[in-house]
Chains A and B, each alone.
Chain A
């Protein structure tokens, strides 16, 4: 791994000040460090944000669950408050990677990285999340821009993610058996006013499947989407699954999610 300067920031202001066009924020490092070791990424400065107290922790109000950016997957998975308010979100966290990844990896890191097969971006879309940064608040629907691309500007730091508590929800994924990344994952959330069907793994970027959500808005039952066939022309195709298989999996996982709601 190429050398870099390691900095330990004491607050968001300092972290932001230290950042440059050639830096990255370091939280759990579960993607950043392997990427740097493989030479897929290199930075002049790594800015460790784990000591910024304000960035960690879980707060539940009547309508939302707000999770600090450096909160680890294991903390979300084990949180009694999250289990009570949005059980599907704790369940999603429990299914990420392996125990060692969950002990270190953070929600902010996962969301900022926007891996096309990551779990958390689907939760953001399904649960009408708001991404709080050190500069502004961004709606999830405007945050995920494309493969590994987000609306974050250089030096902009995610501080917390606020999820709207749904009436019912479930996340169902077909994991890659080795990495546990989603070949396809579908997060269905029924809110008072709308139904979201957030899909990860199928396309270059997480998306809300309008056809499925429309069908479910008419009748919230798995039979209403039973025979749907999705257009696979813009879906991912790789050694793990063809585009056609992914299109079929989206419907299968969506049905499972609706049944589990």
Chain B
């Protein structure tokens, strides 16, 4: 066991974890932040993407111990004062989801893209979302939602 201290969605969190606790497990089971989904659990599907120190990361492939001292943002941390983040708003407006399982990861990944590239092309959006798999939408509306969000962010 070891103590980790993290800033999660702006709140300081101190917890004891096992050395082998994954960040995804830590968020979901220890902090009840179940917006971060676990899909494949083999770092391929991207449903578990969160931000660590401003960069997107697959939380099923990082140890809680390894990111001790970092700032983490999960899907729960995007909305401000009950108002959806422009990316969430765009996914809702343009039907960028059907079952919604991949959506938290898609949104977190897409927000990271717009932090680094304010006006991405369709190809750049598709390339960036390489690590996020959606089995419902065929991606068309996801790409449209990211483009819409780019005009609002």
Contact = CB atoms under 8 A, between A and B. Distances in A.
Co-assembled chains A and B: yes
A100 B46 contact: yes
A29 B41 CA distance: 14
A29 B66 contact: yes
Contacts of A103: 55-57
A67 B44 CA distance: 27
B81 to A, nearest CB: 29
Given A1-B22, A103-B56, A180-B130, A30 B43 contact: yes
Among B62, B112, B113: residue with most chain A CB under 10 A: B62
Nearest to A45: B19
Interface in A5-40: 5-6, 26, 29-30, 33-34, 37-38
B124 to A, nearest CB: 11
Interface string A114-141: 0000000000000000000000000000
B63 interface: yes
A98 interface: yes
A103 B51 CA distance: 11
Contacts of B41: 37
A3 B20 contact: yes
B97 interface: no
A-side interface size class = 20 to 34
Interface in A69-126: 74, 97-101, 103-104
Given A99-B128, A180-B130, A4 B66 contact: no
Contact of B57 (A2, A4, A104, A179): A104
Given A3-B18, A30-B43, A98 B61 contact: no
Interface in A39-53: 46, 48, 50
A188 B22 CA distance: 40
Interface residues of B, number: 28
Contacts of A50: 66
Nearest to A180: B130
B62 A33 contact: yes
B70 to A, nearest CB: 11
Contacts of A5: 19
Given A6-B66, A48-B66, 16 more contacts: A4-B19, A6-B63, A29-B63, A34-B42, A34-B61, A37-B42, A98-B46, A98-B131, A99-B109, A100-B43, A100-B56, A100-B131, A101-B43, A101-B58, A104-B62, A180-B130
25 contacts: A1-B20, A4-B20, A6-B20, A6-B65, A6-B66, A26-B63, A26-B66, A29-B61, A33-B62, A34-B42, A34-B43, A34-B61, A37-B60, A48-B66, A74-B55, A97-B130, A98-B130, A99-B109, A100-B49, A100-B109, A100-B131, A101-B43, A104-B57, A179-B44, A180-B130
Interface of B: 2, 18-20, 22, 41-44, 46, 49, 55-58, 60-63, 65-66, 109, 112-113, 128, 130-132
